[in-house]
Amino acid sequence: MVSSVVAAAVGFVFALLFTPLAIRALARLRAGQPIRDINPAAHQVKRGTPTMGGLVFIVGTVLAYMVGHLVMNALPDGQIVPPGPTMTGFVLLGLMVFCGGIGFVDDFLKVTKKNTAGLSGRWKLVLQLVIGTGFGVVALGFPSTAGWSVSGTRLSFVREISWLNVGQVGAVVVFIAVVMASTNAVNLTDGLDGLATGTSMIVLAAYGLISFWQYRHWCADPAAQPALCFEVRDPLETALVAGAAAGALLGFLWWNTSPARIIMGDTGSMALGGLIAGQAVATRTVLLLPLLAALFVTITMSRIIQYTSFKTTGKRVFRMSPLHHHFELVGWHEVTIVTRFWIIAGAGVAAALGLFYGDHLSRLP
Strand, coil or helix: what is 162? strand
Length of the chain: 365
Cα angle: 147, vertex 205, 20; to 5 degrees: 120
Cα angle: 250, vertex 253, 256; to 5 degrees: 165
DSSP string, 325-361: HHHHHHT--HHHHHHHHHHHHHHHHHHHHHHHHHHHH
* The pairing of beta strand 154-156 with beta strand 160-165: antiparallel
User: How large is the C-alpha radius of gyration of the chain?
Assistant: 20
State the binding site for Mg(2+).
Answer: 187, 266
Phi, psi of 174 (to 5 degrees): -60, -45
Is the CB of residue 202 less than 8 Å from the CB of residue 193? Answer: no
The helix (H) or strand (E) run that includes residue 301 is: helix 294-313
Is the CB of residue 237 less than 8 Å from the CB of residue 82? Answer: yes
Residues forming a β-bridge with 156? 160
Strand intervals (E) in the chain: 154-156, 160-165
Cβ neighbours of residue 123 under 8 Å, at least 6 residues apart?
none
State the binding site.
Answer: 187, 266
How many angstroms separate the CA atoms of 86 and 322, rounded?
38
How many angstroms separate the CA atoms of 65 and 7, rounded?
6
Q: Which amino acid is at 181?
A: A
Residue (of 174, 201, 196, 176) closest to 186 by Cα position:
196
